[in-house]
Structure 1
Amino acid sequence: MDVVSYIRFSAILSLLLLHTVYANELPNIIFAMADDLGWGDVQYNGGNAFTPNIDKMAQSPNTILLQRYYSGGPRCSPTRGTVLTGRNHNRYCVWSTTGGTNAPDFTVPEPLALPLTEITVAEVVREFGYSTAMFGKWHLGDFVPITGGNKKWPVSHPGLHGFDQWWATERSTPTCTPNCGCFHSICLHGHYPAKETACMNYHTNKSDEILGWPDAVPGDDSDFLWNLSETFIREQVKSGKPFFLYLPFHTVHVHYIATEFYRQLYLKKNYSSDQADYYGAISALDVVIGRLRELLEELGIRNNTMFWFTSDNGPARHTPGVTNGLRGRKSSLFEGGVRVPGMIEWPAVIRSNQVSRFAVVSSDLLPTVYDILGTKPRDDRPMDGTSILPFLHGTEQSRNKTISWAFAIPGGDFDGHYNVTIAGDRYKLMAVYGKGEVQHHELYDLVEDLGETKDIAQDYPDITTQLLAQAEQWRSSVINSVHKLGCLNSD
């Protein structure tokens, strides 16, 4: 047997052995996602925040550090939809966040909540005996009916999408409430004396009812989510059931506030008060990542737990968040808006630390889970993600599917238009649509020009033409999905 044949044989044997493991013991799954955490906000990418636990996870011998990890959208709600469904958010009319609309020629209805017809990761794994939990920021629909109705965001809470246990806010909330300690009224003072803001109410399932949480929840929000997560994980280990934990942190979305302990870490180094809150909140989240990894080790389940850590989009404008040279920020489809920190730790499968340029997107989670479970989607609805299980096993070195986005352009020369973007292993096309046609397009080489400073569309007409055709094909598919769902306005 020659060397090439031996390598292929070994890879196939490895896959067979792993599938045997899955048949006997399904892996636990944790998907932890920060909010508005920029590419350059973590230490391993040159950030100012102290993130020793995230860095330790990135350097683990059982981790693949994904240096081309992408959020499925450039804002909160869109990405959250892609995580759960494996599909681009435009397919089910979650155009943007609350109150956002898409460009008129992209079918334009009001933005909706996550439709109950969408199939989520939680629903799929629950059919295989998993316990499921979601703790943190939902942002895919309201939890209780709004007086007078809410056309934009009808009731669509985590319990309707496969989660057995959940404690969640409908939208963002301060990352810490050091003064009044509440999540339910206008009470935030202190760091933001001129910016009093409504804390979001936590809701939870209890005896199949949706209950608000009116009592004070003082301190750091990430720490609160850790307490919920620890209890859930210990319960599942005791019961012997595999689990899926979806942990979408509120950090570091505005209003970001840190406890005094974390603020002092940065004030002592002469950072501003605003920076101390921003970086301090990140450090508090970092501690929770460390605690989770330690808990998995303590309970003896680290080996068989697939642990993802990432962010929902790039850093928000007017915050200390940085992209470390990437162009754009939150709401942009340039790299700074969608390329975010990302890594996967899974000792049973990943046997050596890797720093990879393999492109992964948040919508890859559900297809990967299907692959792990040895099952397929129950219908033929288009999936935008792809299984990265072969990549995790080391048998696939390049992505077999382009990554696609579509999002309205906020302001500038193309205000009111929308951007359809297609990214492959090397080249990225950005096509600006208006009145149903491409009004402008740009091509970038992400290997030679990570900052997207030079449009090379005229230098590579064949690649540009090919990607333009893919963009139009994908756009047509999305519009077809929207029509099938029936979420268009009548006017």
Structure 2
Amino acid sequence: MMHYLLDLVRFVWIILAYSMVPSVVRGIASTATPNVIFAMADDLGWGDVEYNNGSAFTPSLNEMARSDNAILLQRHYSGSPVCSPTRATLLTGRNHNRYCVWNSNNAGGSLKDFIRPQKMPLPLSEITVAEVMRNAGYSTAFFGKWHLGDFKPLRRRGNNTLSHPGLHGFEQWWATGRSAPTATTNCGCFQNSTCILGHYTDRPMCTNYYTNTSDGIVGWPQPIPGDDSHFIWSLAEKYIREQVNLQKPFFLYLPFHSVHKPYIATDQYREIYLKAKMKYTSKEADYYGAISAMDEALGKLRNLLQELGIKNNTLFWFTSDNGPLKPRSTNGLRGRKSSLYEGGVRVPGIIEWPDVISSNRVSQFPVVSSDLLPTVQDILGVKPSDDRPIDGISILPFLQGKENKRNQPIFSAFKLKKRRVFQEQYRVSITTDKYKLMETVRNNTVQYELFDLEKDARESSNLINDYPDITSQLIEQIEQWKESVRQSIKKIGCNIL
């Protein structure tokens, strides 16, 4: 009898102790601590993907877009019409001009890594979504294209451009500093490499993956054959399995190189297009083949979440960093990469989160990449910092089906120049639920365009003379935002004023 009572007491204590352990540690889904995956393509056009009548075969993205627990975001915007600035906005929730990431970091045309510094690094004073999540007990990882600063302390003209993922909250990271071939990624870094594809006659530039170790910055030690998207997927798979075994929530950021130049596809994906009924050129087979390789990697990622039993409690967000270089890839939207017209900033977007999204939706709700950080803070109950303006908003109420209007505009500004902020030549846009106003300045001459995006997504009709009151209201908001950006620049002290 005494043994029975002791066993009963022991059993009760075990149950009580177990009930006190947070559900996320026990491996049970908790919407308060979801895993978050942010996957981003490079230069992928709104009209490239198959579900938007594009020419690329994207069965995995098609399936994700149709999922019962996903929202297809038909007005998803990039934080900028070019690369580095968008990457900055999604990490910080703030417009990139506030801290002087004016444009893409151009490392020069060299075939070798670490030759010229990236002149617009992400300042270490910025608070990133990775830092927020790490402070909340998450594991954080980054695999892919960084493009926000150098991995080694390069000094030119007195500038220190050191700014790698490890300095911005990522515990694990393998990153390239800039664009890389979409297949045979780092083969150009190895003198006698045999993994350069036969149909690609030019020797690829040397862009390797690097990480920070106790021995300093080290590169991937050997050539990486095959499609780069699948290499990124292999890093992601290993990391996710590790975190599930550790029963730890994670934030995983996967910025793919596809489909930025130089785009190369392996024969497996080129053949899809070269053998298709519709005629594709060899160059098109590389372009669309690289997209299909990335699509398959995304499909494997979704399947892995299902296999490990964590799909329901994982917020999976997919988008692109800006519009395409190819005009045809916008599916009729005006403009392309480097333009603030829709073709340059309206990009593919899907969010899947079974624990929160209960039915499939196709939405015209405007979402922008800078919404990631405030959304994560809202999910985690983290109070936003009150010492800096945040341009993004939490879209958690929208994901939960509680809101169908954004009610806060999206601002974008491009081609600002050092020491000439909002002077001489630049563009600013304000995008609301319905309207978009574009301010174009050339030689200090101002021109305005107003578009009704609900009726005219292709921005073919300038309504500036039809709605003077709306125009005046939007101009006033632009001027207020510009002054806010000026104040941010003064505060950050990036030596431009």
Query: Is the structural similarity TM-score above 0.5?
Result: yes
Say yes or no: does 1:271 pair with 2:280.
Answer: yes
Distance 1:152 1:346, change over 3 A: farther
Deviation at 1:63, TM superposition (A): 0.1
Counterpart position of 1:234 = 241
Match of residue 91 from structure 1: 98
Deviations 1:245-282 (A, max 9, x none): 00000000000000011001101123100000000000
Cα shift at 1:196: 3.9
Q: Deviations over 1:77-100 (max 9, x none)?
A: 000001100000000100001249
Aligned mate of 2:468, from 461, 483, 486: 461
* Matches of 1:417 and 1:190, distance apart in 2: 44
Match of 2:347, SS state, is coil
CA distance in 2: counterparts of 1:268 and 1:387, whole angstroms: 45
Render the CA deviation track for 1:413-449: whole Å, top value 9, x for unaligned.
x9961001000011100012357x6611110111111
Q: Secondary structure at the match of 1:48?
A: coil
Structure 1 residue 36 corresponds to structure 2 residue 24: no
The amino acid that maps onto 2:295 is: D
Residue 290 (structure 1) aligned with residue 299 (structure 2): yes
**Which residue does 2:408 correspond to in 1?**
401
- Name the residue aligned to 2:127: 119
Q: Is the 8 A contact 2:434 2:452 kept in 1?
A: yes
Distance 1:394 1:332 in 2: 32
Measure the CA separation in 1 of the matches of 2:160 and 2:181.
21
Distance 1:372 1:464, change over 3 A: same
Map of 1:421 onto structure 2: 429
Q: Residue 98 of structure 1 contacts residue 152 of structure 1 at CA under 8 Å; is this kept in 2?
A: no
Q: Which amino acid aligns with 1:280?
A: G
How far, CA to CA, are the matches of 1:95 and 1:465 in structure 2?
27
Q: How many residues align?
A: 452
- In structure 1, the residue matched to 2:8 is none
Q: How far 1:215 moved relative to its partner?
A: 1.3
- Match of 1:73? 80
Distance 1:71 1:478 in 2: 18
Does residue 248 (structure 1) correspond to residue 264 (structure 2)? The answer is no
Taking the aligned partners of 1:24 and 1:33, their CA distance within structure 2 comes to 23
Counterpart of 1:353 (choices 340, 360, 365) is 360
Corresponding residue for residue 496 of structure 2: 489
Partner of 2:320: 311
**Match of residue 342 from structure 1:** 349
1:181 equivalent to 2:187? Answer: yes
Deviations 1:380-402 (A, max 9, x none): 30000000000011111100210
Counterpart residue identity of residue 134, structure 2: R
Deviations 1:20-51 (A, max 9, x none): x9978510000000000000000000011110
User: In the alignment, residue 26 of structure 1 is paired with which amino acid?
Assistant: T
Contact 1:159 1:205 (8 Å CA) reproduced: yes
User: Which amino acid letter does the alignment assign opposite residue 475 of structure 1?
Assistant: K
Q: How does 1:371-390 map to 2 (within 5 A)?
A: 371-390=378-397
In the alignment, the residues of structure 2 paired with residue 274 and residue 74 of structure 1 have an alpha-carbon distance, to the nearest angstrom, of 24
- Equivalent AA in structure 1 for residue 384 of structure 2: P
Question: CA 1:257/1:49 → structure 2, altered by over 3 Å: closer, same or farther?
Answer: same
3-state DSSP class of the match of 1:443?
strand
In the alignment, is the contact (CA less than 8 A) between 1:422 and 1:429 conserved in 2? yes
After TM superposition, give the deviation of residue 408 of structure 1 in Å.
1.6
Structure 1 residues 78 and 339, CA, compared in 2 at 3 Å: closer, same or farther?
same
Residues 31 and 355 in structure 2, CA contact (< 8 A), matched pair in contact too: no
User: Does the aligned pair in 2 maintain the 1:408–1:416 contact within 8 Å?
Assistant: no
Classify the secondary structure of the residue corresponding to 1:84. helix
TM-score by length of 2: 0.86
3-state SS of the aligned residue for 1:371? Answer: helix
Confirm or deny: 8 A CA contact 1:87 1:385 kept in the other structure. yes
Amino acid at match of 1:276: A
The residue type paired with residue 288 of structure 1 is: A
User: Distance in 2 between the 1:455 and 1:365 partners?
Assistant: 32
Given residue 124 of structure 2, which amino acid in structure 1 is its aligned partner? Answer: L
2:157, 2:199 → 1: CA distance? Answer: 32
* Matches for 1:45-60 after TM superposition, within 5 Å: 45-60=52-67
The alignment's TM-score, normalised by the length of structure 1, stands at: 0.88
Query: Of the candidates 224, 232, 238, which is equivalent to residue 225 of structure 1?
Result: 232
Match runs of 1:194-233 below 5 Å: 195-207=202-214, 209-233=216-240
Residue 184 of structure 1 contacts residue 202 of structure 1 at CA under 8 Å; is this kept in 2? Answer: no
SS of 1:355's partner is strand
Which residue identity is paired with 1:135?
Answer: F
Q: What is the match of residue 69 of structure 2? A: 62
Measured in 1, the distance between the counterparts of 2:158 and 2:435 equals: 39
> 2:200·2:264 contact (CA, 8 Å) conserved in 1?
no
CA distance in 2, matches of 1:257, 1:466: 47
Does the 8 A contact of 1:174 with 1:255 survive in 2?
A: yes
Per-residue CA deviations over 1:346-398 (Å, capped at 9, x if unaligned) read: 00000000000000000000000010011112333000000000001111110
**In 2, distance between residues paired with 1:393 and 1:60?**
16
Deviation at 1:204, TM superposition (A): 1.4
Which protein shows a greater Rg? 2
Structure 1 pair 434–484 and aligned structure 2 pair: CA distance change class (3 A): farther
Quote the residue 1:7 is aligned against.
Answer: none
Identity of aligned residues (%): 62
Contact 1:364 1:386 in 2 (8 A): yes
> CA–CA distance in 1 between the matches of 2:439 and 2:204?
38
Query: Is the counterpart of residue 444 in structure 1 residue 451 in structure 2?
Result: yes
Cα-Cα RMSD: 2.4
Does the C-alpha gap of structure 1 residues 173 and 471 become closer, same or farther in structure 2, counting only changes over 3 Å?
Answer: same
SS state at 1:168 partner: strand
Structure 1, unaligned runs of 5 or more: 1-20, 101-109
3-state secondary structure, aligned to 1:463: helix
Query: In the alignment, does 2:440 pair up with 1:432?
Result: yes
Once the two structures are TM-superposed, the CA of residue 454 in structure 1 deviates from its matched residue by: 1.1
Which consecutive residues of structure 2, in runs of 5 or more, have no partner in the other structure?
A: 1-27, 108-117
